[in-house]
Amino acid sequence: MKKGNLAKGLLGLALGAAMILGGAAAQAGGGTITITGSTTVLPVAQKAAEVYMKKNPGVRISVAGTGSGDGIKAVIDGTADIGDSSRDMKAKEIKMAKEKGVTPKKYTVAMDCIVPVVNPANPVKDLSLEQLKGIYTGKVKNWKDVGGNDKPVVVISRDSSSGTFEVWNHKVLGKKTRVRPDAQLQASNGAVAQAVAGNKYAIGYVGIGYLNPKLKGLTVDGVTASPKTAIEKTYPIARGLYMFTNSEPKGEVAGFITFVMGPEGQKIVKEEGFVPIN
């Protein structure tokens, strides 16, 4: 991941409310595209928007990082042209969309690995899914129980509007298991990275594109997060990253989606530390 991604992610989150313009003018062929949703997808969406606008000077694209659930909801409500998400739509969201006459169209723009991360000073290098579950449910409270120092574990997690939170809970904790009540909830990948980098005894989880020298990514059950293990889905916490639209996109929205899915867009996916789909 580039050095600027952490700052970009936090900036995009902070400016999110101001950047969402509402409406879906671009869907009808206008010159404005509104994108909101996942903070994991945010660096890709921001860079792609920047390059696309340079290539198409008459187009204005606003991008916000507000969480996957909010991105999907914005498409269903018609307040955004594109909803970024790091998880698939839920059955209740599909039902809500149908009730509002919306037909969601999903584009898989990248693959990703959710990587458990610790401070580089932490000697732990690998954790099993069972150990991660123990840490996040409160069963494991001291690093010595998983091969680390005799220090309490500080748990950093995403908030419930996050697609990363949803996928992590599903794949690591199990659908009906709750995160320990003293977990520190963060609103973005960037915020998790910052919290873990600043605490020797913390553990968190981020998308692979948010790894940086201030974090140590752990292997899970001995498997390293990588483009190969993401594509092959041999990494235990691999997932797709998505952009949703209402029906088949038109006008500039169609142009932007085509750009992201094409060679230039997939090059951006790779540059931002994620895994291209082709």
Question: 148-184 pLDDT, tens per residue?
Answer: 999 999 999 999 889 999 999 999 999 778 999 999 9
pTM for the model stands at: 0.86
- Strand-pair category, 32-37 with 82-85: parallel
| Confidence band, pLDDT 50/70/90 cuts, at residue 251 | very high
| pLDDT tens digits along 230-249 | 999 999 999 999 999 999 99
Among 119, 159, 166, 115, residue whose Cα is nearest residue 143: 119
Number of residues written out for the chain: 278
Check whether 263 has a pLDDT greater than 60: yes
> Distances in Å between the alpha carbon of 85 and those of 219, 222, 232?
24, 28, 21
Name the H helices within 20-62: 42-55
Domains of the chain with CATH codes: 4-110+242-271 (3.40.190.10), 112-231 (3.40.190.10)
Residue 215 has pLDDT above 70, yes or no: yes
Residue 205, strand partner residues: 116
pLDDT mean across residues, the chain: 91
Q: How confident is the model at residue 10 (pLDDT cuts 50, 70, 90)?
A: very low
Q: What is the mean pLDDT of residues 249-258?
A: 97
Range of weakest confidence among 15-24, 75-84, 154-163, 192-201: 15-24
Q: Taking the alpha carbons of 61, 67, 68, 73 in that order, is the dihedral positive or negative?
A: negative
How far apart CA 57 and CA 42 sit, in angstroms, is 21
- Measured CA to CA in angstroms, residue 97 lies from 25, 76, 161, 245 at distances of 19, 5, 18, 11
Which range, of 3-12, 44-53, 62-71, 77-86, averages the lowest pLDDT? Answer: 3-12
Encode pLDDT of 95-144 as tens digits.
999 999 999 999 999 999 999 999 999 999 999 999 999 999 999 999 99
Q: pLDDT digit string (tens) for 198-210?
A: 999 999 999 999 9
CA distance 124 to 140: 14
Asked whether 109 and 277 are in contact (CB, 8 A), the reply is: yes
| Tokens of residue 208, six digits | 């692979």
User: Environment class of residue 169 by beta-carbon count within 10 Å: exposed (0-12), middle (13-18) or buried (19+)?
Assistant: buried
